[in-house]
Structures are given as C-alpha cells and as structure tokens.
Amino acid sequence: MKKLITGIILSVVCWSSNAALITLNSTDNGWYKSDGIHTTTNTNTFTGLFSGSEYRSFYNFDVSSLVGGTITAASIRFFSTGRIETDTGFEQIGIFNVTTLPGTGNSVAIFNDLGTGNTYGSRGLTLASGSTMPDFTVTLTANSFADILNDNTFSLGAALLTISSERVQGFWAGSLASPAAQLIVDWTAAQQPNDNNSDEIPEPATLGLFVLALLSMSRFRRG
C-alpha cells in the first residue's frame, strides 16, 4: 500500500514539473520610421515622434522551444536603456501583434504593422524629460498566447499612444541595447502519451483525491 501511494504521489509531482517560467531575450530589435526606413544594424528602439516623423519599435523572439506546449500567462519586460523625451511628463505606449517580419529591411507595411491590429497591452510612465528609461514590464493579454505558439519566431510592435505636436517625444531615445526586451511566459510542455496510448492520464485534482482516499484506507486498516 505504501509503495502504491508513493508511486501515485510521484506521478502528481512529475505532472506538475512540466510547467515552467520561461524567459527569452529578444533576438533582434530596432525601429521603423513612418516612411518605412529601417537600418538593419541599428538596435535603437526609439518609439515616438522626432522632427515630424513617427517611429515604432519591434522585438523579435525565437520561440521554437515553446511550440507544442501551452501558455497561461505572458509579459514583456523592457530593459532600462536610453531616455524619455516629453513636454507633458507622461507618455504611454501600446504593444501590438505583428504579422510581418520586422528587421528585414525598409518597409512602410512593416511600420504600419507595428502599431495596428490586436493590442496586447499598454503602459504609461510619468517621468521628467531626459530621465533614464526604467526597467518595466507589460502584462500581455490572453489573445497573445496562441500567437506566441504559432511559429518559431514571435514579434511584438510598440507605438506611442500619446503623440502630440512635440518636436521630440517618446521612449528609449538614444538607446542601443541588444537585447532590449525579454519575453516571459508561464509555459507547460505537451503531455507525452503512455506506452500503449490507451489509458487516459487523470487530471491532477483527480489524482490528489485518489491519494487522499488511499491514505484514509491505509489508516482504517491500521485501526
């Protein structure tokens, strides 16, 4: 009886061990200008307005190791780099899904893609102009989970939501970080089928109840 209970408990532990917190650094990052200009060797991620032109940033991640699993939570962490430019003391960015592949050269279509489509989240910061950009995190919405697992590369776009008529306005001015961001996911690996592929694997909650029942039987027998 003790051996049987021990074996079931180990099964529950092994089931839980498939879940993990995964962090992935951006493999490429940079900006696109509203006229489609992008320099592939430039890792600056300025996001905002400069001399009448809008800039949007992108962040590519290699997610090939996640394909086949499931995601229950996700966020993007932006590293401290560059400075904020603002006349109002408050700026806000939006995080967007991307269907193109940023970083591959000049493209107005990619610039447009970085600030349109599904919104994964947003974040506002209150800072004095010229202040160093802090390290901060944006929690991604659930509609990002399937997109992250859809291909071997996952890309995010960032666009300033508070653009006005300022000459210089935005996040990460003067930044040169690579990687500039980190994707963080709560990920669970796909369950492997058993040898004969016939027995269903019970849910962890069911296993727990079964263990409690066996423990009660064991105590009853000893009594």
* Residue range 76-126, pLDDT digits in tens: 999 999 999 999 999 999 999 999 999 999 999 999 999 998 999 999 999
pLDDT bucket at 201, cuts 50 / 70 / 90? very low
Per-residue pLDDT of 132-147, as tens digits, reads 999 999 999 999 999 9
- The set of residues, in sequence order, having a beta carbon less than 8 Å from that of 89 and lying 6+ positions away, is 126, 127, 128, 129
Decide which of 151 and 198 is more confident.
Answer: 151
33-80 pLDDT, tens digit each:
999 999 999 999 999 999 999 999 999 999 999 999 999 999 999 999
Which residues does residue 212 pair with via DSSP β-bridges, in sequence order?
Answer: none
Average pLDDT over residues 193-213: 49
With H, G, I as helix, E, B as strand and everything else as coil, classify residue 72. strand
Which domains can be identified in the chain, with CATH numbers?
29-181 (2.60.120)
Query: Is the Cβ–Cβ distance between 80 and 135 less than 8 Å?
Result: yes
Q: Percentage of the chain with pLDDT > 70?
A: 78
More confident residue, 4 or 28: 28
The pLDDT of residue 211: 47
CA dist 120 and 70 (Å) reads 18
- DSSP-assigned letter for residue 51: T
- Pull the structure tokens for residue 164: 């006005």
The pLDDT, as a whole number, for residue 190 is 85
Q: How far apart are CA 58 and CA 222, in angstroms?
A: 65
What is residue 9's predicted lDDT score, i.e. its pLDDT? 39
Q: Output the average pLDDT for the chain.
A: 85
pLDDT of 120: 98
Residue type, 142: A
What's the pLDDT at 178? 94
Predicted local distance difference test score (pLDDT) of residue 216: 53
